[in-house]
Structure 1
């Protein structure tokens, strides 16, 4: 049965960040993810996780100067030391939060840079980062992101991400398959799930309604059907709910209640 994790960067924003953990637990979530925890001490976040009885299943490594438009460092020529520092910092947080996986953002292709040079840097950095994460049992994830939401982002398509994972060859480097981004760029979601999940290279799945990135019961994607496909394919990972609620987060969880009720009847 599908297991869902609330994304606390997008959901429960009616609460202060550290109060979102208990709000998610009160709505029945067992796990959470978020983007960037670094403005808060890891010990403080860990305390909120424990108090709410939640598992942390994913967060992002530092992306560089986000306010200045940076969206990751892994593919940026000339930023190797900054990238390595970011990975070491992320691993420190992962240890404190007992988080098994980290999303490593590729970055926006710099103006004038050849994609081949970015790809070479990206491959080298991912290999190094995977080697640092392996002793602690952490998986690193790379995520294709659509260029409508993130213009110029290096990694956009599932085949591109899976080829990079194969090329690096690290057992703890996997793909973060966000079905919102995949639908915008490529579509054909069921076929892609059936192609890629059996490879063992998908380490996490995320969802949101398309095109507005709201609850998954809105827009053009039939998520109940895809949840059934995930169950059929024996996907046992988490599904991150990385969407922006239309109104209050709790009020918009009818889709989750409906799926849980239907799955419960099917199991019975």
Structure 2
């Protein structure tokens, strides 16, 4: 196994033409240069230099090694520069998976802050819902995933993942503007026991059934869809009401729909998940910090 310092010293001897000149250039003593070159020749297994008067002449093996040494040193320098770019956050790539409402709110704000301060850090976006999105981190197909969970839901987190809480997302009810409760500042779930419901993703449907069961009724689920725009359209047409997180409200686009918080308040927990060792990767740690900042801006909104 070659030592990098021996390769650099060899390259300097070739460049300057003598042990003494290489010693002056590198700040070593001449005996130290001699010892390094002897050690390198033992590693190679053949002489690399022949003395010609006061100068050193390369053997045939030495000439071949010199060509490799230049390539090795160039590669080492390039690697050091690239590693420095990563650690100084001039470069880097982070694969992030987010559920739709986080992808439409937290993620753009975090990426805008990231681009302003560290334009060399690239984020590759994926979309996915828990628990499948958690498996992506465990399997190495993404570096960070944003996921949500509800009180009472037992989350099966794969081994090796670290949960980083970001925010609590208050649950609201979407109502058509003509609904008798639309003028209220907040709505009790029991007041909607006789309504028809539009349910969302499987995890959200499970929570809806759980919340209603706690209050003694079973919701009449007329439609199910993961598409937020479809949910809004169905509510606007008076086909039902829907429970939705507050993160959805900023992109409420249908004029015939209003959102009202539940009373008493119900919330889901939004968190980031990463492999423990990825917390030490500078680019990943930076993206997590920007996500925390974006989430903190929405607390209480």
TM-score interval, normalised by the smaller of the two chains: under 0.3
Greater relative contact order structure (CA < 8 Å, 6+ sep): 2
When the two structures are superposed, what TM-score results if normalisation uses the length of structure 2? 0.22
Give 1 or 2 for the bigger CA radius of gyration: 2
Q: Which protein has the bigger strand share?
A: 2
